[in-house]
Amino acid sequence: MKKIAVQISPEAKTAYFANYIDVAQQELIQVCGDIPFSYFKIGALEFFELASTDVNLEQLLKLSFTQGLYAIEGELLRPLDLSADFNLHEDFVFGSKFKGKTNERLTQMLINVGLSAINETTGKGLKLLDPMCGRATTLLWAIRYGFAARGIEQDPKAIEDIHRNLKKWTKLHRQKHKLSEGFIGESRKKKLGDFLDFSAADTAMRVVSGDARNTEQIFKKEKFDLIVSDLPYGVQHFTTEKTRNPLTVIDECISGWKNCLKKRGAVVLAFNNYNPKRKALIEVFEKSGFEALSFSAKHRMSESIVRDVVIFKLSE
Ligand SMILES: C[S@@+](CC[C@H](N)C(=O)[O-])C[C@H]1O[C@@H](n2cnc3c(N)ncnc32)[C@H](O)[C@@H]1O
């Protein structure tokens, strides 16, 4: 095999809209480094051709836009009989639809670029936190990648919904698992929040109903390799203060997130570039000793949302 073609899934269009090729290119560059590649089309099918086979095929299969891989043999493309090695059934991530769900492909991309920022290729043995986790799309992806996953969500109804969905998918797919609930804090009266624990496939997640500004108190002594979140867009999702601009709350979260992040760790955030602007978001992180990588994945979702992604690492 001399060259590989990566077929671009039509799902990339639902995730990244008209900008799907640009975003896919950015993800490919971030994850695969400086391997030269070019875009080509056969009829309605779209591909990237990689100029080298010196690449981790498992990473290629896990890219958020990959539909399949091919060996390029002269004029012909030979499909490679390979699929990504994930835990759990895909229904755990894709099966449930709910208002405000973060697109599953975008969420996958956040994990991929996060892993590349810390020079890792799998979540096995690593810990991921989504401090504004909604109904756990990122956390369930994280489990599929092998991470131990933790989440915080301000909406107390979220835990019930996550619980219901987990029961449904574990039953349907006969997935061996453990589910339990409780509270954290000294006593019920002084509790910091309720939690839901789920373990399956040699890994586990905990979702706490609480405020991301209390991350350090909620996950005492835990250190994370990645903090990954799709921030409230100020359109459907507001923050605790019911403000349209999540920046004030983010500013108040950063020191707690920093104290829970491993030194070599990374923070990956998706946000509506109208609110806050990328520059303003970077400024509040820089104030706390972070630096932003050059990675960006800007795509227009609607009149009022242009989503982007930023990766932060602690400054040396
Ligand atoms: C864009 S949504 C995330 C959706 C999630 N990724 C999913 O697919 O379910 C942002 C979430 O942040 C939550 N949120 C906003 N401010 C928060 C805070 N201070 N602490 C915890 N959660 C917060 C919102 O309730 C909302 O569920």
- Same domain for 154 and 72: no
Count of structural domains within the chain:
2
Q: Which residues line ligand 1 (CB under 6 A)?
A: 100-102, 132-135, 137-138, 152-155, 211-213, 230, 232-233, 237, 239-240, 249
Q: Looking at the structure, do residues 65 and 110 belong to the same domain, yes or no?
A: no
Cα 100 to averaged position of ligand 1 atoms, centre (Å): 9
DSSP 5-67: EEEEPTHHHHHHGGGHHHHHHHHHHHHHTT--EEEEEETTEEEEEES-S-S-HHHHHHSTTEE
**Residue 85 covered by a domain:** no
Q: What is the pTM of this model?
A: 0.97
pLDDT of the residue at 1: 63
For residue 86, tell me if it sits in a domain: no
Indicate if 191 and 308 belong to the same structural domain: yes
Residue 131: inside a domain: yes
Given this model, what pLDDT does residue 102 score? 97
The length of the chain in residues reads 316
Residues 197 and 292 in one domain: yes
Whether residues 69 and 96 share a domain: the answer is no
Atom of ligand 1 lying closest to residue 249 CA? 19
Answer whether residue 150 is part of any domain. yes
Which residue owns the Cα nearest ligand 1 atom 27?
134
Residue 237 lies in a domain: yes
Tell me the CA–centroid distance for residue 285 and ligand 1, in Å.
19
The answer on 122 and 237 residing in a single domain is: yes
User: Domain of 17?
Assistant: 3-79
CA of 222 to the centre of ligand 1 (A): 21
Q: Output the CA 243–ligand 1 centroid distance in Å.
A: 13
Residue 32's CATH number: 3.30.70
Q: Is residue 84 part of a domain?
A: no
Of 79, 109, 131, which residue sits at a domain end?
79
Residue 95, Ramachandran bin (φ over 0: left; ψ between -120 and 50: alpha; else beta) = alpha
CA gap 105, 107 in Å, rounded: 5
Residues 264 and 212 in one domain: yes
**Do 292 and 152 share a structural domain?**
yes
Which atom of ligand 1 is least distant from the CA of 152?
Answer: 21
What's the rounded Cα separation, in Å, for the pair 248 and 242?
Answer: 11
Q: Do 230 and 310 fall into the same domain?
A: yes
Model pLDDT, residue 240: 62
Domain membership of residue 268 (yes or no) is yes
From 103, 237, 309, the mutation candidate for ligand 1 (largest count of ligand atoms within 8 A of CB) is: 237
Q: Quick one: 135 and 156 in the same domain?
A: yes
Asked, for residue 208, whether it belongs to a domain, the answer is yes
Task: Say which CATH number the domain at 124 has.
Answer: 3.40.50.150
Report the C-alpha gap between 112 and 108 in whole angstroms.
6
Pocket perturbation via mutation, ligand 1, pick of 108, 133, 245, 275 by most ligand atoms within 8 A of CB: 133
- Low pLDDT (below 70) residues in the chain: 1, 235-244
Do both 66 and 140 map to the same domain?
Answer: no
